[in-house]
């Protein structure tokens, strides 16, 4: 069931990326200001996807949530290696295959595994971990590489 959830998540993220603006500011084919009716691409450009689920110790504590969100958003905005990202909370959906038990989800894309390895030891990433590790009780990571 986890592999089905992960595949659904990656598919949703692909659609998200096709309709968003990358970290560098280049508009994609889903740009609302585009007057052309070209087909939307559902293929992500970056070959490495890093999906992180966080369960906070006190998910109803607004002060803890604010601290976590601020630290996470700051870290992602300052990362030299994250090419595109999504930070979210569980959607209000109810189907048997959906796990809504987590508090936050981070999806980040990278140009390569080597870039993601650099991100793991990047000072802003390590600062985020130091600032936030006492706020979470569980973290689960799914890393995926693009199939040819």
Say if residue 23's pLDDT is above 80.
no
- Top CATH class of 2-21+45-145 equals alpha beta
Highest mean predicted confidence (pLDDT) among 6-10, 44-48, 103-107, 143-147: 103-107
pLDDT of residue 50: 98
The residue ranges of every structural domain in the chain are 2-21+45-145
Pick the residue with more confidence: 15 or 72? 72
CA atoms within 13 A on the CB side of 59: 12
Say if residue 33's pLDDT is above 80.
no
Say if residue 27's pLDDT is above 80.
no
* Rounded CA separation 124/111 (Å): 19
**What does pLDDT average to over the chain?**
81
Query: What is the Cα 52 distance to its own chain's centre?
Result: 7
110 beta partners: 48
Instruction: Assign 140 a pLDDT band (cuts: 50, 70, 90).
Output: very high
Give the full edge-to-edge strand order of the sheet including 84-88.
84-88, 104-110, 48-56, 136-145
pLDDT of residue 40: 62
pLDDT of residue 18: 38
pLDDT tens figures, 82-127: 999 999 999 999 999 999 999 999 999 999 999 999 999 999 999 9
Pick the residue with more confidence: 143 or 38? 143
* Rounded CA separation 117/112 (Å): 9
> pTM here?
0.74
Provide the token pair at 12. Answer: 């949703």
């Amino acid at each position: 069931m986890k592999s089905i959830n992960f595949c659904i998540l990656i598919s949703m993220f692909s659609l998200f990326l096709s309709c968003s603006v990358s970290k560098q500011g280049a508009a994609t084919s889903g740009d609302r200001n585009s007057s052309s009716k070209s087909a939307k691409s559902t293929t992500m450009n970056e070959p490495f996807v890093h999906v992180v689920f966080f369960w906070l110790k006190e998910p109803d504590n607004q002060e803890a949530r604010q601290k976590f969100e601020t630290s996470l958003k700051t870290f992602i905005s300052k990362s030299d290696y994250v090419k595109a990202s999504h930070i979210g909370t569980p959607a209000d959906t109810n189907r048997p295959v959906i796990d809504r038990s987590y508090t936050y989800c981070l999806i980040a894309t990278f140009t390569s595994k080597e870039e993601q390895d650099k991100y793991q030891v990047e000072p802003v990433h390590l600062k985020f971990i130091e600032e936030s590790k006492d706020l979470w009780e569980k973290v689960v990571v799914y890393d995926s590489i693009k199939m040819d």
